[in-house]
Amino acid sequence: MPTFTINFVNNSDSSGSFCVFQQNHNSPNPDVFPLAWRVEQAGPHSQLAISWNMELYFFWGKTGALRPGVVFNAGENSPTSLTENNDITLTKEDGNYKFVNKKNAYPQGSLNIMSDNTTAINQASVGIGMSGAVAFAVQAQPNMYFRFSPRFDYWITFADVKQGQVLNPSDINAVKIEFPYGIFSMNATLNPDHTWTITQGLD
């Protein structure tokens, strides 16, 4: 399984965080939020790399009401894939949430989460992610079924955000990173005026 890397350079005088996030959750549910998926702090005139793999996971977290600015702290993750073990149920037992009944579901290519009748209103959220970090989340409600058919796209921003924070992409200055076929690293330079220069990596 390939590893992807973005090499970030901060050529500005600002401190902040480089953030990679995804937007194309391809879910029929309109209330799915993108999260700050990979976040690393960076000082002025510094450089760092953010890497990830394509291993998929289900997540749940006790978020309260899910809205921009809320931080999703995962209570549990469970490995999945687009072809098997792609359906799971969130339940609550003795006051604690947990995933149960992971199974294969059709059609392949989707990741499915059921929140059963024990789920409290506006208490927990469920989502999917990659490389051990949650990328998308939606408010869990009793007897709801959520389907994701992710189309992996990568966006970057430089902002004051935390890992797992719910984003409103229209409020941040983000640019899309596209990896050409067979290329697994890209370079992203934040210029002094906070514009971006994107180039292809060498590895």
What confidence tier does 172 reach under pLDDT thresholds 50, 70, 90?
Answer: confident
**Can you tell me the mean pLDDT for 153-181?**
93
- Six-digit token string for 22: 């995804």
φ/ψ of residue 170, rounded to 5 = -70, -15
User: Which pLDDT belongs to residue 118?
Assistant: 97
Between residues 28 and 142, the one the model is more confident about: 142
pLDDT tens profile 32-90: 999 999 999 999 999 999 999 999 999 999 999 999 999 999 999 999 999 999 999 99
Residue type, 59: F
Q: Which of 16-25, 126-135, 157-166, 186-195 has the lowest mean pLDDT?
A: 16-25
What confidence tier does 169 reach under pLDDT thresholds 50, 70, 90?
Answer: confident
User: Which pLDDT belongs to residue 114?
Assistant: 97
pLDDT tens profile 97-144: 999 999 999 878 999 999 999 999 999 999 999 999 999 999 999 999
User: Which pLDDT belongs to residue 106?
Assistant: 84
* Sheet containing 47-53, strands listed edge to edge, beginning at the edge strand earlier in sequence: 47-53, 3-10, 185-190, 196-200
Question: Rounded to whole angstroms, how far apart are CA atoms 203 and 194?
Answer: 26
Residue 33 CA, chain-centre distance (Å), reads 9
Residue 179 scores a pLDDT above 90: yes
